[in-house]
C-alpha cells in the first residue's frame, strides 16, 4: 500500500468514528464489571461548542477512554439543557422574522415552534461532540425537556413544596428587562463601568424664604448615579451622627422633577464620607434602599415597567427607556438649576449573563428555594472528603464560602420555554401545588371543600438550573423510576468535569440534589478545568472575535491535533492561553507518528531469517546492540507507563500527555528506532521487528485516550488485526529494571557528549572518527558499544589505559573519550571548554564542603543526607582529577 508523505486526518477520523459506533463500543449496559460513569455537563441547545467545551469534552473523553481500556464498564452520557432564556429569545427572534408576534400565540403554539426550533438546531452541538471523537453513549442522549425529565422536575418541585423547602413571595430580585424575567443571583455578572455621580439639589420645605440659591440652608445636596429614578424617591436619608445635617432631622424636602415632599430620615447605613452624605431613598429600584424602606415603613413606588421604561407612576418621561430618561432628567435638572455638578465615577453594575443588559433590581413575586437546609449536607459531602475536588486547594475554599453564605434561590422565570410551575391559584390567591391539574383539583376540594373552583396554573416556568441539578440522577431515570437497574448500577457517577465558573450554578446544586433526592453524592470527584483565554490572556468572547471556530480548527489540523493542542497547554485547574501554535505542535506530532509507522512498515518486507525462529541472542550479525536497545526500551516503557498511571490518577492529564509525547518522540523515535534501524538496504532482524511492532502497539495504546483517531489508524496499518485499539485492554504494569535504565542513560549521555564534541570541532556528520575510551569500568560501554559507534559515526572503538595524543578529548563523569579525526584539533577551544567545566566542579565542591565542614550540619542532618553529600564531594573531585589529566595531555 502506498502511504502518503504526511498524515491526513479528515477521512481517517470519520472512518473510525463510524466504525466505533457501528461496533457499539461506546454503548454501555450494566454488567458484572465495575462501572465508570461520567455525565456530560449539558451544553445548552442554542450553542455551538466553544474552546471551553472543547477542553471539557476532551478531558472527559480521555478519562472515559482510559477507563474503558482498563477493565471498567465505561458509560458517558451525552445531552443538552433547554436553556430557557437563551432558547426563548432565539425562538422569539425566529418568529419575528416570520412576522409572528409571540404575544399573538397561545402557549401551546409557542411551545410547538420551540420544539421545532430545537429539532432543527439543537443537534449542531452533538455533531461537534462526535467530530471531536467523544466516546459518548448515543443511546443515552438526554434533554432536560424530555418527557420523563419534565416529570422529574415537576415531581421534585411538588416534593420540595410539601417539605417546606419552597416558598413564594415578593422580594427584590434581579430583573432582565430584555428577556422580561427574573434571574437568580448567579445569573448576574458584575462589571466595572465608568459612570457618573450627579449632585442634585433637594429643596427644603418650610425653610426660610428662598432668597439666595447659593445659601446652603435652603437645600440639601444628594449624590446619585441614577437620576432617572428620582421620581420613585420616598425619602432622603442621612447618618444620624452627621452634624452637617442635624438641623434637617424631621424636616421635609422636595423631590425634584415631580415636586413632591418627602421626609428626611436617619440611618446608620449611610456613609457620611460617600458623595454628600445624603442618600435619596428609592425602595423600588435599589436593594439597599429597599431594606431601608422596609425598616422605616416607607412606600414603594415602582417607576419602571417590565421592559425598563418609565411607568405611569413616574409621572414624567413616561414610556422613555431608562437610559434615555436619565439623559432627559439630567437636562431638566440643569435647566431648573438643580444640578450642581457631575463627577466621573467608577461603579460596578450587574449584567444579565444571558442577554447582557444591565440588570434592574425589581420587587416581584417569585418562587424561591430555601437553601440553608440543602447546604448542610452538600458542605459535609465535600469537607468530609466523600467528594474530592481537583485541584482541591484552589476551589475548596470558594465552595465552602458559597455554601456557608448561601442565599435563597429564585427559581421562577417569566417565560414559556421550560417546566411550567405546578402551582394553581384560586381567586383568593390560595396556592395548591400538585403534579397536574386533576391532582390539584382533588387536593383543593379536599382542603377547602369546594369542587369546580376556578383554578389558574402559575404561568411561569422554572429556572433551567432547577432541572439540570437533577442531571446525574435523572439521566438514569432515578427520579421518575427510582431503584431501576441503571440508576442502581451507574449512580453515583465517578467524575464530573466542568469549568470553574459554574461551581455554584451547577456543581454545588447537583451535590445538594444528590444528597436531597438520592441521599447519596452524585459523583466522587470533581475536576475543574481552567478558563480558555486567548494568547494575550483575554477571555474568549464573541465581541472580541478571539474565539476560534472548532470545526475550522478540526478541518485545518485534525481532531487529534486539536485535542493534543488544548491538553498540552492545559495545566490542571489553571487558565490556559490558547494559541494555534499548540495545535501545530499536535499536527507535527501526528506526522511524527505517521512517519515512524512508515519506517517500521519499510522493514516488514526486509526481515532477516525466519520470523518465528529467530531470537535476540543467536549471534546474528547486528543482534548484540539491538538486544540492548530492545531491553532498554522495554524497561523504559514500563517506567513511563507507571509514571503516566500516577499522573492520571492525580488528574494531571497535561503532564501525562507531555510524558507520553516525550516517550514517543524522544525515547522511541530519536533513540530506540535509530538504535535498531538497519543500514541502507539492509534487512532488519526479524525478532527485533516483532518487538518493535509490539512496542509501537503499546505506545499507541498509551496515547489512544488522548489522540484516538491516528492511534487507531496506525494500529491497523502496522499489522493485520481483528481487534480495535479503542477497546484493547491494558496489560498489567511491569516493574522496570533500574540497572538497564541507568545503562541506557549512560549510553545516551555518551552519544550526546560525543556529538557535541563533533559539533564544536567542526566535524561534519559524514566525517568518520576513531573513538578511544579511557574508563575504569569499560564494561559498562561494551554491551552497547555497537550503538555508540553507529550513533557518533565512528569507524571503530578502542579502550585505552593512556591518553591518546593529538585527539579531541572530552569527559563524561570519570570517563574520557578521545576522538581522532582528520580535522586539526583546536587545542585552545578544548582547553577553554575543560577549564569552564573545572571551574563549575570546583565551585560545586566548595558548596558541598561548606556543609561537610559545618558541625551543626553533621549533627542535625539525616545520616543518608550526609552520606549523599560525601558522595557528591567524591564524585566531583574524581571529575576534577579527570579534567586535570586531560588538560595536561593537551
**C-alpha distance from residue 493 to each of 102, 383, 471, 572 (Å):** 41, 19, 11, 21
> Taking CA 587 as the corner, what is the angle to CA 586 and CA 592, rounded to the nearest 5 degrees?
95
C-beta closer to RNA: residue 23 or 295: 295
- DSSP labels, 471-501: HHHHTTTTTTSTT-HHHHHHPSEEEEEEEGG
Q: Are strands 235-238 and 260-266 parallel, antiparallel or unpaired?
A: parallel
Phi and psi torsions of 883, nearest 5°: -65, -40
Work out the end-to-end distance of the chain between its first and last CA atoms, rounded to an integer number of angstroms: 56
Q: What CA–CA distance (Å, rounded) separates 576 from 562?
A: 14
- CB–CB of 817/753 below 8 Å? yes
C-beta closer to RNA: residue 114 or 834: 834
Q: Give me the least distance between CB of 836 and RNA, in Å please.
A: 8
**C-alpha distance from residue 269 to each of 233, 262, 405, 507, 858 (Å):** 17, 19, 21, 35, 64
Q: Give me the least distance between CB of 859 and RNA, in Å please.
A: 8
C-beta closer to RNA: residue 294 or 581: 581
3-class DSSP assignment, residue 465: helix
Cβ contacts of 836 within 8 Å, gap of 6 or more? none
C-beta closer to RNA: residue 455 or 812: 812
Show the cell assigned to 8.
491526513
Q: Give me the least distance between CB of 581 and RNA, in Å please.
A: 5
195 pairs with which residues across the strands?
345
Show the cell assigned to 492.
453515583
Q: Give me the least distance between CB of 460 and RNA, in Å please.
A: 23
Q: Give me the least distance between CB of 752 and RNA, in Å please.
A: 4
Q: What CA–CA distance (Å, rounded) separates 402 from 411?
A: 18
3-class DSSP assignment, residue 759: helix
Per-residue DSSP letter, 137: -
Number of H-type helices and E-type strands within the chain: 29, 31
Q: Give me the least distance between CB of 408 and RNA, in Å please.
A: 12
Q: What CA–CA distance (Å, rounded) separates 569 from 766?
A: 38
- CB–CB of 761/736 below 8 Å? no
Q: Give me the least distance between CB of 103 and RNA, in Å please.
A: 33
Q: Give me the least distance between CB of 224 and RNA, in Å please.
A: 18
Show the cell assigned to 834.
575543560
Show the cell assigned to 351.
449584567
CB burial readout 72-97, b (16+ within 10 A) else e = bbbbbbbbbbbbbbbbbbbbbebbee
Cβ contacts of 581 within 8 Å, gap of 6 or more? none
Q: Give me the least distance between CB of 237 and RNA, in Å please.
A: 18
Phi and psi torsions of 797, nearest 5°: -135, 140
Q: Give me the least distance between CB of 92 and RNA, in Å please.
A: 28
Q: What CA–CA distance (Å, rounded) separates 157 from 168?
A: 12
Q: What CA–CA distance (Å, rounded) separates 413 from 180?
A: 9
Per-residue DSSP letter, 208: S
Q: Give me the least distance between CB of 185 and RNA, in Å please.
A: 5
**C-alpha distance from residue 153 to each of 420, 490, 668, 733, 880 (Å):** 10, 20, 54, 46, 77
Q: What CA–CA distance (Å, rounded) separates 375 from 880?
A: 66
Of 592, 540, 596, whose CA–CA distance to 566 is shortest?
540
Of 544, 466, 463, whose CA–CA distance to 51 is shortest?
544
Q: What CA–CA distance (Å, rounded) separates 762 from 764?
A: 6
Q: What CA–CA distance (Å, rounded) separates 468 from 83?
A: 10
When computed from its CA atoms, the radius of gyration of the chain, rounded to whole angstroms, is 37
Show the cell assigned to 442.
382533588
C-beta closer to RNA: residue 157 or 696: 696
Show the cell assigned to 511.
451535590
Q: What CA–CA distance (Å, rounded) separates 500 from 480?
A: 30
Element (H, E) at 433: strand 431-433
Q: What CA–CA distance (Å, rounded) separates 145 from 151?
A: 9
C-beta closer to RNA: residue 125 or 757: 757
Is 309 within any annotated ligand binding site?
A: no
Please enumerate, by residue number, every residue annotated as part of a binding site: 542
Q: Which residues are annotated as a binding site for ATP?
A: 542
Amino acid at each position: 500500500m502506498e502511504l502518503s508523505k504526511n498524515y491526513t486526518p479528515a477521512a481517517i477520523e470519520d472512518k473510525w468514528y463510524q466504525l466505533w459506533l457501528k461496533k457499539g463500543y461506546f454503548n454501555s449496559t450494566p454488567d458484572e464489571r465495575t462501572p465508570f460513569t461520567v455525565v456530560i455537563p449539558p451544553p445548552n441547545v442554542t450553542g455551538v461548542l466553544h474552546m471551553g467545551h472543547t477542553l471539557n469534552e476532551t478531558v472527559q473523553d480521555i478519562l472515559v477512554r482510559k477507563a474503558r481500556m482498563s477493565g471498567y464498564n465505561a458509560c458517558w452520557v451525552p445531552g443538552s439543557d433547554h436553556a430557557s432564556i437563551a432558547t426563548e429569545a432565539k425562538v422569539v427572534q425566529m418568529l419575528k422574522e416570520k412576522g409572528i408576534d409571540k404575544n399573538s400565540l397561545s402557549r401551546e403554539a409557542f411551545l410547538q415552534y420551540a420544539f421545532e426550533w430545537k429539532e432543527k438546531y439543537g443537534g449542531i452541538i452533538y455533531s461537534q461532540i462526535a467530530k471531536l471523537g467523544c466516546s459518548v453513549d448515543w443511546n443515552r442522549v438526554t434533554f432536560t425537556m424530555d418527557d420523563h425529565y419534565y416529570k422529574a422536575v415537576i415531581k421534585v418541585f411538588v416534593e420540595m413544596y410539601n417539605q417546606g423547602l419552597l416558598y413564594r413571595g415578593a422580594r427584590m430580585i434581579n430583573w432582565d428587562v430584555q428577556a422580561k424575567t427574573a434571574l437568580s443571583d448567579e445569573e448576574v455578572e458584575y462589571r466595572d463601568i465608568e459612570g457618573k455621580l450627579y449632585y442634585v439639589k433637594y429643596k427644603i420645605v418650610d425653610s426660610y424664604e428662598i432668597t439666595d440659591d447659593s445659601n446652603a440652608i435652603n437645600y440639601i445636596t444628594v449624590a446619585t448615579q441614577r437620576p432617572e429614578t428620582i421620581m420613585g424617591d420616598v425619602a432622603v436619608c442621612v447618618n444620624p451622627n452627621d452634624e452637617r445635617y442635624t438641623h434637617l432631622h424631621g424636616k421635609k424636602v422636595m423631590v425634584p422633577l415631580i415636586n413632591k415632599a418627602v421626609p428626611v430620615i436617619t440611618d446608620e447605613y449611610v456613609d457620611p464620607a460617600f458623595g454628600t452624605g445624603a442618600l435619596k431613598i428609592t425602595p423600588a429600584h435599589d436593594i439597599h434602599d429597599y431594606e431601608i424602606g422596609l425598616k422605616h415603613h416607607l412606600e414603594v413606588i415602582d417607576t419602571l415597567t417590565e421592559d425598563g421604561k418609565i411607568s405611569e407612576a413616574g409621572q414624567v418621561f413616561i414610556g422613555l427607556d431608562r437610559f434615555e430618561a436619565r439623559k432627559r432628567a439630567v437636562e431638566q435638572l440643569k435647566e431648573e438649576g438643580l444640578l450642581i455638578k457631575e463627577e466621573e465615577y467608577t461603579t460596578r453594575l450587574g449584567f444579565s449573563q444571558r442577554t447582557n443588559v444591565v440588570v434592574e433590581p425589581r420587587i416581584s413575586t417569585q418562587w424561591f428555594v430555601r437553601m440553608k437546609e440543602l447546604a448542610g449536607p452538600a458542605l459535609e459531602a465535600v469537607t468530609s472528603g466523600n467528594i474530592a475536588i481537583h485541584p482541591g486547594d484552589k476551589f475548596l475554599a470558594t465552595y465552602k464560602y458559597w455554601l456557608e453564605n448561601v442565599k435563597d434561590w429564585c427559581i421562577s422565570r417569566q417565560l414559556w420555554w421550560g417546566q411550567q410551575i405546578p402551582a394553581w391559584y384560586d381567586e383568593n390567591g390560595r396556592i395548591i401545588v400538585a403534579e397536574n391539574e386533576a391532582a390539584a383539583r382533588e387536593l383543593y376540594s379536599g382542603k377547602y371543600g369546594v369542587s369546580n373552583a376556578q383554578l389558574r396554573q402559575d404561568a411561569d416556568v422554572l429556572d433551567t438550573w432547577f432541572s439540570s441539578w437533577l442531571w446525574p440522577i435523572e439521566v438514569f431515570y432515578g427520579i421518575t423510576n427510582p431503584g431501576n437497574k441503571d440508576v442502581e448500577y451507574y449512580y453515583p457517577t465517578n467524575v464530573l468535569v466542568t469549568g470553574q465558573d459554574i461551581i455554584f450554578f451547577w456543581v454545588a446544586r447537583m451535590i445538594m440534589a444528590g444528597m436531597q433526592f438520592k441521599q447519596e453524592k452524585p459523583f466522587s470527584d470533581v475536576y475543574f478545568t481552567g478558563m480558555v483565554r486567548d494568547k494575550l490572556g483575554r477571555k474568549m468572547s464573541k465581541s472580541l472575535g478571539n474565539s476560534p471556530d472548532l470545526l475550522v480548527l478540526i478541518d485545518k489540523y485534525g481532531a487529534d491535533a486539536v485535542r493534543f493542542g488544548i491538553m498540552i497547554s492545559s495545566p490542571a485547574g489553571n487558565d490556559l492561553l490558547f494559541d494555534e501554535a499548540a495545535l501545530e505542535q499536535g499536527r507535527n506530532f501526528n506526522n511524527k507518528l505517521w512517519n515512524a509507522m512508515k519506517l517500521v512498515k519499510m522493514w516488514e518486507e526486509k526481515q532477516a531469517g525466519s520470523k518465528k525462529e529467530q531470537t535476540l541472542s543467536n549471534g546474528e550479525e547486528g543482534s548484540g546492540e539491538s538486544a540492548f536497545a530492545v531491553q532498554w526500551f522495554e524497561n523504559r516503557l514500563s517506567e513511563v507507563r507507571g509514571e503516566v498511571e500516577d499522573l492520571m490518577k492525580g488528574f494531571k492529564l497535561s503532564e501525562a500527555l507531555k510524558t507520553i509525547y516525550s516517550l514517543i518522540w524522544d525515547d522511541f523515535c530519536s533513540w530506540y528506532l535509530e538504535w535498531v534501524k538497519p543500514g541502507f538496504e539492509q534487512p532488519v532482524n526479524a525478532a527485533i521487528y516483532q518487538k518493535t511492532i509490539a512496542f509501537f502497539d503499546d505506545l499507541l495504546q498509551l496515547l489512544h485516550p488522548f489522540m484516538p483517531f491516528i492511534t487507531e489508524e496506525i494500529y491497523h496499518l502496522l499489522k493485520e488485526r481483528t481487534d480495535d485499539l479503542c477497546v484493547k485492554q491494558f496489560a498489567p504494569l511491569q516493574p522496570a529494571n533500574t540497572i538497564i535504565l541507568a545503562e541506557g542513560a549512560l549510553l545516551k549521555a555518551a552519544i550526546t557528549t560525543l556529538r557535541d564534541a563533533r559539533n564544536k570541532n567542526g566535524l561534519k556528520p559524514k566525517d568518520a572518527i576513531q573513538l578511544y575510551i579511557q574508563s575504569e569500568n569499560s564494561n559498562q560501554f561494551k554491551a552497547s558499544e555497537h550503538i555508540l559507534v553507529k550513533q557518533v559515526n565512528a569507524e571503530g572503538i578502542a579502550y585505552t589505559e593512556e591518553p591518546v595524543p593529538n585527539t579531541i578529548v572530552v569527559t563524561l563523569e570519570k570517563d574520557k573519550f578521545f576522538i581522532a579525526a582528520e580535522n586539526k584539533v583546536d587545542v585552545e577551544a578544548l582547553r577553554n571548554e575543560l577549564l569552564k567545566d573545572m571551574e563549575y566542579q570546583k565551585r560545586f565542591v566548595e558548596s558541598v564542603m561548606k556543609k561537610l565542614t559545618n558541625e551543626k550540619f553533621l549533627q542535625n542532618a539525616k545520616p543518608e543526607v550526609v552520606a549523599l553529600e560525601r558522595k557528591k564531594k567524591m564524585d566531583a573531585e574524581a571529575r576534577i582529577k579527570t579534567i586535570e589529566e586531560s588538560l595536561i595531555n593537551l
